[in-house]
């Protein structure tokens, strides 16, 4: 198997007695190095090949790619060319899009840029975007918004003609919208994607502005609620190769969970039911300068210490900050086991407005134009639902579906950009993540981007992704009575069944 | 295996518990009907699929095609559409191009048009066109000339959006020029094509103006001098399925010969050496009204009876007329066994100009503005060389290479448009074709066009063509001393070895 999508090869010279055409001689070498018979040589690539081949003494550099039928030759380049052959890995997030430029030969990352998903201008949530895409015009508008902005950013990273491959990992809805494929039925029962395994597309065919012969690959979906970003995450952390059952959880959007190892994989996702709606990503603000991402409370004095991104004056709190805060409030007794603020312990940080309790996290009254950072009981209730939903899903998939115990897990991977800021200790304290040894947790960072990058540097990944896809048993989570019972217990801090959280010690 | 490139299929409806995407459900049905796993579904075809599929109650009409890796889905149509799905078969001749419109579902031919190859404006012979294509501009000029004229004629046959498939059969040079592929090395030692097996191309990619999703297929070449037109001819006459050795000869251009049957195929071609240069196609004019295509001479009286196309006043003579004439001249003693005019037998039809002998075939002096039709000894010598070359090639391939005798042949197929006018009896009389029973000869007509038509109506043909290509042993004819010895004997009428032509009785 080849180690890079860019290969230097030498072709046998033509001779009397062997009238094998130029194209077929090239194909023969590619067959040999890929150990595969299915090689697609696009006919138009032959146009100026004969002269080139002879000028270059039958040595060439080939850019290769794959589709579901076999290898395809993307371009044929000068063997000693002095310019790079680039790929761009893209994490196609609902709210944020991240691009990474990768030298396909050296493997070196040569730049990274991110920007807000411009589809937010139409609607910030996915459901509204899918509604917008009901009309052909709406669909094309959403597609073009995202592609034109990606084009702008690719240009900032590299001269476009040097970029040959783009690998994109996003959820099912984002994948459909990017391709301009009608996403309507993703969200209607029985929740059927239009396409699960998109073949790589010619960049020019969908308007991605890279090399004229460039190809765009999108990670496949498993189902409407289990997208390519998770496949990419599995590829990155290697869940499918573990020796013992492990779990990968994306706490970024809806709770999406994969549990398994080299023998089997079970994926569980769903936005069904009010318990899961909104999800954990709705908590707090997106990470940006001034946003509180870490909170400490002195359990004895009740002194609050907040950390803001880039140490700027506090402007709000993000999801991981919320989890930290809830954990600290709970551990210092300011939040009771039902998730209610305890006024007498919150002391002067507690106040009420219109009958709703509030906790004042940061008093900005000394700062001009900056409001206080306050947290209402309503927001805490929402966090409580979210953390309970997360734990319930984990409990269902691990205990009910996989028939394991949390302690059986070798690794607990936390995926997604949101997940990368979570302090697992805090998440355990509020009963959101199971109480297993901290060193089993591994925060993957932007696993979607990392998986896409890994893909661009490992041609084997193509088959690996298909193997992952085939190995996964996908279960759509139904909110039934049993789930609701589990959910009710999980709405307590950390849980009605305290024996599940032996390490959580309350003041 | 499917019987047509257009298939009506019914897809299972989506349901809870089976989240197979729309595209994947379609692929599953196609896998079943083609009995093949490799199915390529172009991603952009998914764009408006979900709505259509549901509007059409999960019934669709699919246009399918194939490439070397597997089946590809060309388009998805309304199941009860009231318009035809057409293919166009094209014989891409050096001098003449013929188009046939075919209803891919009913198999009915719905029209045929032909026109002169517009590349003739650049150069009438292939060598000069290949020289013209040395520069990129020249190559593109030649390509665009032929494609734009084909586009014009397709439009005359059908609304362009109804045409989904185009199958083109031409010689190696025409195939290269059509695709805009540099043909330079076809004619330089060691005579290597740029491409032998072109993958089907998107029509829009090379400028063929049919349905936006249409596909263009070109028959593969075997070598520089053995092109897709011959593969197409083999497909048409079924040489590769015969129970006993048979032969197919294209006497249209250079002598191209395939001998064999279901167990093996040997192809022999070559333009090497002065004996073969120019070839038989250079003799006389192209067939058009007024051109002499048949000649009769009363062996006793010497009276000459000519037939012209459409019975118009004689304006010239075509190749088949030349062969007829030479045969009649020889059989009536006006041409001796060395191929020299015999003045005393030609009587007043013989005259000399600048020391060269002439035979006056038609005296047009009574017709205004029409010159006499006269044949010089030089032209007869050229015919003699050509017929000797043809016979020598046949002798070499049948006797020396295949180790057979002419009498072993079950069938003698005469291919090519030129061949379709030949009177085999005359060709035997001059020693151009072997002296075997006349009923073994079968004139195929435009076998190139017929093969292309057969292809469009038989999806099996795709594999059959590849099997033919694989089965063929291709031998480039070298003009060596042995060949020259054989050639010398064949330059006599009918041959130095008269026992080879027992049926030829001279007056």
Check for a shared fold between B6-77 and B230-276+394-496. no
Judged by CB atoms closer than 8 Å, whether chains meet at A192 and B21 is answered as: yes
Instruction: Work out the angle between the directed axes of helices B228-237 and B461-471 (0-180°, nearest 10).
Output: 110
Any A CB within 8 A of B402 CB = no
A25 min Cα distance to partner chain B (Å): 9
Judged by CB atoms closer than 8 Å, whether chains meet at A206 and B44 is answered as: yes
Any A CB within 8 A of B40 CB = yes
Judge contact between A29 and A2, C-beta under 8 A.
no
* Residue reference for tokens 């049926």: B503
User: Which helix H or strand E contains B438, and what residues bound it?
Assistant: none
Which residues of chain A lie closer than 8 angstroms to B193, CB-CB? 19, 21-22
Q: What are the tokens at B320?
A: 């088949």
Any B CB within 8 A of A43 CB = yes
Any B CB within 8 A of A46 CB = yes
Domain boundaries, chain B: 6-77, 86-218, 230-276+394-496, 280-382
Instruction: Work out the angle between the directed axes of helices A481-490 and A377-395 (0-180°, nearest 10).
Output: 130
Cα–Cα distance, A268 to A231 (Å, whole number):
13
Any B CB within 8 A of A20 CB = yes
The answer for B25, left when phi > 0, alpha when psi is -120 to 50, beta otherwise, is: alpha
Judge contact between A411 and A442, C-beta under 8 A.
yes
Which residues of chain A lie closer than 8 angstroms to B47, CB-CB? 139, 179-182
Beta-strand runs (E) in A12-156: 39-40, 59-67, 70-77, 86-92, 96-103, 109-116
The set of residues, in sequence order, having a beta carbon less than 8 Å from that of A82 and lying 6+ positions away, is: none
Any A CB within 8 A of B185 CB = yes
Q: What is the phi/psi pair of residue A148, to 5°? A: -65, -35
Give A271 or A336, the one with higher predicted confidence: A336
| The pLDDT value given to residue A495 | 95
Any B CB within 8 A of A116 CB = no
User: Which helix H or strand E contains B467, and what residues bound it?
Assistant: helix B461-471
Any B CB within 8 A of A480 CB = no
CA torsion sign for B271, B323, B449, B244 is negative
Direct distance between the N- and C-terminal alpha carbons of chain A, in angstroms, rounded to an integer: 58
The residues in A 49-78 lying below 8 A from B, measured between CB atoms, are 49-51, 54, 67-70
Mutate to test the interface with B, among A19, A31, A134 (most CBs of B within 10 A): A19
Which member of A15, A44, A193 has the closest CB to residue B190? Answer: A15
The set of residues, in sequence order, having a beta carbon less than 8 Å from that of A86 and lying 6+ positions away, is: A101, A102, A103, A104, A110, A158, A162, A163, A164, A165
Fold category of A6-77 in CATH = Ubiquitin-like (UB roll) (3.10.20)
Which member of B43, B189, B192 has the closest CB to residue A198? Answer: B43
Q: What is the dihedral of CA B333, B337, B338, B344, to 10 degrees?
A: -20
A191 min Cα distance to partner chain B (Å): 7
Q: What are the tokens at B72?
A: 């590809």
Give A31 or B507, the one with higher predicted confidence: A31
Judge contact between B223 and A19, C-beta under 8 A.
yes
Judge contact between B495 and B287, C-beta under 8 A.
no
Cα–Cα distance, B427 to B414 (Å, whole number):
11
Q: What are the tokens at B334?
A: 């006006």
Any B CB within 8 A of A198 CB = yes
Judged by CB atoms closer than 8 Å, whether chains meet at B190 and A41 is answered as: no
Q: What is the phi/psi pair of residue A122, to 5°? A: -85, -50
Which residues of chain A lie closer than 8 angstroms to B67, CB-CB? 40
Judged by CB atoms closer than 8 Å, whether chains meet at B182 and A49 is answered as: yes
Which member of B16, B184, B196 has the closest CB to residue A50? Answer: B184
Summarize chain A as % helix, strand, coil (round to 5): 35, 25, 35
| The pLDDT value given to residue B474 | 86
Judged by CB atoms closer than 8 Å, whether chains meet at A190 and B17 is answered as: yes
Judged by CB atoms closer than 8 Å, whether chains meet at B179 and A48 is answered as: no
A190 min Cα distance to partner chain B (Å): 5
| The pLDDT value given to residue B299 | 87
Closest-CA residue to A328 (of A434, A428, A449):
A428
Judged by CB atoms closer than 8 Å, whether chains meet at A193 and B43 is answered as: no
Which residues of chain B lie closer than 8 angstroms to A21, CB-CB? 192-197, 221
**Low-confidence winner among A73-82, A201-210, A380-389, B269-278 (lowest mean pLDDT):** B269-278
Instruction: Work out the pLDDT band at A411, boundaries 50, 70, 90.
Output: very high
Which member of B18, B43, B189 has the closest CB to residue A201? Answer: B43
Angle at alpha carbon of residue B63, lines to B57 and B67, rounded to 5°: 135
Q: What is the dihedral of CA A299, A318, A368, A364, to 10 degrees?
A: -20
Instruction: Please say if the pLDDT value at position A471 is more than 70.
Output: yes
HSE value, Cβ hemisphere, 13 Å, CA-based, for B111? 13
Which member of B24, B197, B221 has the closest CB to residue A197? Answer: B24
Q: In terms of pTM, does the model score above 0.80?
A: yes
Which member of B14, B51, B195 has the closest CB to residue A21? Answer: B195
* C-alpha distances in Å from residue A314, one per residue of A358, A363, A366, A422, B454: 17, 9, 12, 19, 76
Cα–Cα distance, B461 to B453 (Å, whole number):
11
The set of residues, in sequence order, having a beta carbon less than 8 Å from that of B394 and lying 6+ positions away, is: B247, B249, B257, B406, B433, B434
Which residues of chain B lie closer than 8 angstroms to A40, CB-CB? 67-69, 199
Q: pLDDT tens digits for B330-373?
A: 999 999 999 999 999 999 999 999 999 999 999 988 877 888 99
Which member of B19, B197, B201 has the closest CB to residue A24? Answer: B197
CATH-assigned architecture of domain B86-218? 2-Layer Sandwich (3.30)
Which residues of chain A lie closer than 8 angstroms to B221, CB-CB? 21
Which member of B19, B43, B218 has the closest CB to residue A199? Answer: B43
Q: What is the phi/psi pair of residue A331, to 5°? A: -70, -25
Residue A202 forms beta bridges with which residues?
Answer: A215
Q: pLDDT tens digits for A450-464?
A: 999 999 999 999 999
Instruction: Give burial (CB, 10 Å; 0-12/13-18/19+) of A403.
Output: exposed
CATH of domain B230-276+394-496: 3.30.420.40
Judged by CB atoms closer than 8 Å, whether chains meet at A21 and B196 is answered as: yes
Question: What is the average per-residue pLDDT within A167-196?
Answer: 95
DSSP assignment letter at A313:
P
Q: What is the phi/psi pair of residue A387, to 5°? A: -70, -35
Judged by CB atoms closer than 8 Å, whether chains meet at B20 and A136 is answered as: no
Instruction: Please say if the pLDDT value at position A275 is more than 60.
Output: no
Size of interface A-B (CB pairs under 8 A): 182
* C-alpha distances in Å from residue A477, one per residue of A176, A416, B21, B353: 22, 20, 18, 100
DSSP assignment letter at B401:
I
User: Which helix H or strand E contains B318, and what residues bound it?
Assistant: none
Judge contact between A255 and A249, C-beta under 8 A.
yes
Judged by CB atoms closer than 8 Å, whether chains meet at B201 and A44 is answered as: yes
B173 min Cα distance to partner chain A (Å): 13
Cα–Cα distance, B101 to A207 (Å, whole number):
34
Judge contact between A269 and A253, C-beta under 8 A.
no
Residue B215 forms beta bridges with which residues?
Answer: B165, B202
| Assembly ipTM | 0.88
Minimum Cα–Cα distance from A224: chain B residue:
B19
Which residues of chain A lie closer than 8 angstroms to B40, CB-CB? 67-69, 199
Judge contact between B115 and B97, C-beta under 8 A.
yes
**Alpha helix segments (H runs only) across A333-444:** 343-346, 377-395, 416-419, 424-429
Judged by CB atoms closer than 8 Å, whether chains meet at B192 and A24 is answered as: no
Any B CB within 8 A of A196 CB = yes
Tens place of pLDDT per residue across chain B (507 aa): 799 999 999 999 988 777 799 999 999 999 999 999 999 999 999 999 999 999 999 999 999 999 999 999 999 999 999 999 999 999 999 989 999 999 999 999 999 999 999 999 999 889 999 999 999 999 999 999 999 999 999 999 999 999 999 999 999 999 999 999 999 999 898 889 999 999 999 999 999 999 999 999 999 999 888 899 999 999 999 999 999 999 999 865 566 899 999 999 999 875 533 444 444 445 566 778 888 989 999 988 889 999 999 999 888 888 888 999 999 999 999 999 999 999 999 999 999 999 999 999 999 888 778 889 999 999 899 889 888 988 988 999 999 999 999 999 999 999 876 677 789 999 999 999 999 999 999 989 899 999 999 999 999 999 999 999 999 998 877 667 888 889 999 999 999 999 999 999 876
Judged by CB atoms closer than 8 Å, whether chains meet at B190 and A16 is answered as: yes
B35 min Cα distance to partner chain A (Å): 15
HSE value, Cβ hemisphere, 13 Å, CA-based, for A428? 22
Judged by CB atoms closer than 8 Å, whether chains meet at A24 and B474 is answered as: no
Which member of A67, A184, A196 has the closest CB to residue B24? Answer: A196
């Amino acid at each position: 198997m080849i180690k890079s999508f860019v290969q230097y090869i030498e072709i046998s010279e033509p001779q009397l007695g062997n009238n094998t055409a130029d194209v077929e001689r090239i194909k023969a070498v590619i067959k040999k190095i890929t150990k595969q018979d299915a090689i697609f040589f696009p006919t138009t690539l032959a146009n100026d090949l004969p002269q080139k081949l002879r000028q270059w003494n039958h040595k060439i550099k080939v850019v290769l790619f794959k589709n579901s039928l076999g290898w395809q030759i993307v371009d044929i380049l000068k063997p000693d060319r002095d310019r790079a052959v680039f790929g761009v890995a893209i994490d196609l997030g609902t709210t944020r899009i991240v691009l990474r430029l990768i030298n396909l030969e050296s493997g070196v990352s040569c730049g990274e840029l991110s920007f807000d998903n411009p589809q937010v201008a139409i609607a910030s949530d996915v459901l509204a975007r899918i509604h917008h895409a009901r009309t052909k015009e709406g669909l094309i508008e959403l597609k073009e918004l995202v592609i034109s902005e990606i084009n702008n950013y690719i240009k900032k990273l590299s001269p476009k003609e040097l970029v040959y491959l783009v690998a994109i990992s996003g959820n099912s809805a984002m994948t459909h919208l990017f391709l301009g494929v009608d996403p309507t039925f993703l969200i209607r029962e029985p929740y059927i994607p239009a396409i699960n395994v998109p073949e790589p597309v010619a960049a020019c065919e969908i308007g991605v502005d890279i090399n004229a012969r460039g190809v765009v690959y999108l990670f496949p979906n498993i189902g409407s609620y289990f997208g390519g970003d998770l496949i990419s995450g599995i590829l990155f952390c290697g869940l499918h190769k573990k020796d013992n059952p492990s779990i990968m959880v994306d706490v970024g959007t809806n709770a999406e969970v994969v549990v398994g190892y080299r023998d089997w994989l079970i994926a569980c996702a769903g936005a069904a039911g009010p318990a899961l709606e909104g999800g954990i990503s709705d908590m707090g603000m997106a990470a940006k300068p001034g946003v509180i991402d870490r909170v400490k409370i002195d359990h004895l004095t009740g002194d609050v210490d907040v950390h803001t991104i880039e140490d700027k004056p506090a402007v709000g709190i993000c999801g991981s900050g919320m989890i930290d805060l809830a954990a600290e409030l709970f551990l210092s007794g300011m939040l009771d086991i039902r998730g209610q603020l305890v006024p007498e312990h919150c002391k002067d940080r507690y106040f009420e407005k219109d009958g709703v309790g509030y906790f004042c996290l940061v008093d900005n009254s000394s700062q001009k134009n900056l409001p206080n950072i306050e947290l209402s009981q309503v927001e805490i209730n929402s966090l409580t639902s979210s953390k309970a939903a997360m734990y319930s899903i984990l409990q269902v998939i691990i205990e009910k579906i996989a028939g394991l115990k949390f302690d059986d897990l070798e690794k607990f991977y936390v995926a997604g950009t949101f997940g990368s800021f979570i302090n697992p200790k805090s998440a355990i304290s509020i009963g959101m993540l199971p109480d297993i040894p901290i060193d089993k947790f591994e925060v993957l960072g932007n696993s979607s981007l990392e998986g896409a990058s890994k893909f661009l540097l490992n041609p084997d990944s193509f088959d690996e992704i298909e193997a992952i896809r085939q190995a996964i048993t996908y279960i759509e989570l139904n909110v039934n009575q049993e789930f609701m019972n589990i959910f009710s217990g999980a709405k307590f801090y950390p849980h009605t069944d305290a024996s599940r959280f032996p390490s959580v010690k309350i003041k």
